[in-house]
A = this chain, B = another copy of it.
Amino acid sequence: MTNETATAESLLDRTLRNLRSAWTEFSDSTRYYLSGAPRPDLPGDDLAKIRQQMLDCLEAKGGEVSARARAAELGRSYLALNATGRHRFLALLAEQFGPDREEVSAAVAVLQDAESEEDRRRAERRLREALVPHWRRLLTRFTALPEGVKFLVDLRAELLPMARKSPELADLDADLRELLAAWFDVGLLELRRITWEAPAALLEKLIAYEAVHKIRSWEDLKNRLDSDRRCFAYFHPNMPQEPLIFVEVALVDGMSDGVQALLDESAPSTDPKAANTAIFYSISNAQRGLAGISFGNFLIKRVVDVLEHEFPNLKTFATLSPIPGFGSWYAEAIKVGEGPKLTASERRGVLQALGLEDDGTSDTDLVERALAVEQWWTDPALADAVKAPMMRLAARYLMTAKRGNGTARDPVAHFHLSNGARMERLNWLGDPSPNGLRQSRGMMINYLYKLSEIDDNHEAYSDGGRVTASSAMRALARS
């Protein structure tokens, strides 16, 4: 796979490269004079030229067609830059194209002097407009270009890591996020099913963007689109071939307890009409530039609706999810002496499985030794011996580990709890892949979406961070 198919990075590069050439034609056709491309790292002189280009763009001389040509030119300048140059470009925007401060002060003054209701409203309006940064007007111009929306999404994908390091870019990022959030309002999106009949150019993107269980080959992908599977994605009408987020669902009998069975290409497909359970086993965001704009909540519920309609036999809607934060939390727990504890009989079991005498090693160290055995999970005795203590720890992690703001520490748990799901069942060795072992110590969890509970669960979690879980999970966490 690695050298066969495009990665998310190479797809992004290709898109931007294509844009650059598309916009050449565009600029030519509008007969707007193009100055030479800037040097890649945008040294001082070129920065000044870019600044002038930005000012020209804002001025809007000569009608909208010319304005569009100038936006195309500015965009092409950006695309000609390397990472250093792009950072300078964006910093220039952030620092010099914010709100007009004189106008803000003036408007504030007017607002404070306003007496009548009408005056006040007019002043509020003026102030609101004054506070709109100039960069916003500038960025909006790109929408008039072909693929302009996609360009802004990709630009933000590049801006995001910079903004994390450079506070002066954070505002620009926040504002661009807001702009994109308005355009990518879930009401403006389209839910589409993706099948093996979809364009290869689209399927290739699933392969590149899948973030949970890597798609190893086209055959793997085909298996995930089989008759007893469903894959759905949200699309934006201006980016009809770009999935925004997608979910993979298996239609099975009974709640799945391990992902390997679902990913096994050689397993025969079953009759989806007979299935009683829909398992959401992978949800991936596809556009890094849309980070912080949430679609997943709606996606799951819309997909539940669609599936209920198509398969009236479905009784259970649940995920089969990783516990991606458990690995690091577990490592910390050990350090502070909060590692696994064993009952006496469990301790005996571990010792026996390891073929050791009891030399007084601590419980935690014993478990660690078990987990250090190569391919330990393929040895039933060993796997069985560490199961109970590890599952207790995982249950405790999931149900009690919190961030500063009171939300669940595990990001996947946070996502599903916010959506109103409940923690239903922990699955020992649900994912013994290298990645599954590292992140989740091989475990997986089912989050259950029960329509009649979703609102209450959501409310309980949003209000006080209360985690809803099955009695089995609760018992595990307590013990």
Question: Which residues on A are within 8 Å of B, measured CB to CB?
Answer: 3-5, 29, 31, 61-66, 98-99, 104, 108, 111-112, 118, 121, 124-125, 127-128, 131-132, 140, 142-145, 148-149, 167, 171, 174, 182-183, 185-188, 196-201, 203, 217-219, 222, 237-238, 241, 297-298, 301, 305, 419-420, 451, 454-456, 458-459
With a cutoff of 8 Å between Cβ atoms, the chain B residues found around residue A5 in the complex are 218-219
A451 with B124, Cβ < 8 A, contacts A188-B149, A458-B63 known: no
* A182 closest partner in B (C-beta): B182
In the complex, how many angstroms separate the beta carbon of A221 from the nearest chain B beta carbon?
8
User: Do A455 and B4 touch across chains, with their CB atoms under 8 A apart?
Assistant: no
**Quick one: which of B124, B132, B149 contacts A187, CB cutoff 8 A?**
B149
**Quick one: which of B29, B108, B183, B197 contacts A108, CB cutoff 8 A?**
B108
Question: CA of A196 to CA of B64 in the docked complex: distance in angstroms?
Answer: 31
User: Do A98 and B121 touch across chains, with their CB atoms under 8 A apart?
Assistant: yes
In the complex, how many angstroms separate the beta carbon of A193 from the nearest chain B beta carbon?
13
With a cutoff of 8 Å between Cβ atoms, the chain B residues found around residue A108 in the complex are 108, 111-112
Identical subunits present: 4
With a cutoff of 8 Å between Cβ atoms, the chain B residues found around residue A4 in the complex are 217-219
**Nearest 6 interchain pairs by C-beta:** A237-B237, A143-B187, A144-B187, A62-B455, A63-B458, A128-B131
Question: CA of A305 to CA of B146 in the docked complex: distance in angstroms?
Answer: 15
With a cutoff of 8 Å between Cβ atoms, the chain B residues found around residue A112 in the complex are 108
* A220 closest partner in B (C-beta): B4
* A202 closest partner in B (C-beta): B197
In the complex, how many angstroms separate the beta carbon of A127 from the nearest chain B beta carbon?
6
Question: CA of A201 to CA of B227 in the docked complex: distance in angstroms?
Answer: 13
With a cutoff of 8 Å between Cβ atoms, the chain B residues found around residue A238 in the complex are 187-188, 237
User: Do A196 and B199 touch across chains, with their CB atoms under 8 A apart?
Assistant: yes
With a cutoff of 8 Å between Cβ atoms, the chain B residues found around residue A124 in the complex are 98-99, 104, 131
With a cutoff of 8 Å between Cβ atoms, the chain B residues found around residue A29 in the complex are 305
With a cutoff of 8 Å between Cβ atoms, the chain B residues found around residue A218 in the complex are 4-5, 200, 218
User: Do B201 and A197 touch across chains, with their CB atoms under 8 A apart?
Assistant: yes
With a cutoff of 8 Å between Cβ atoms, the chain B residues found around residue A297 in the complex are 63-64
In the complex, how many angstroms separate the beta carbon of A103 from the nearest chain B beta carbon?
12
Question: CA of A185 to CA of B196 in the docked complex: distance in angstroms?
Answer: 30
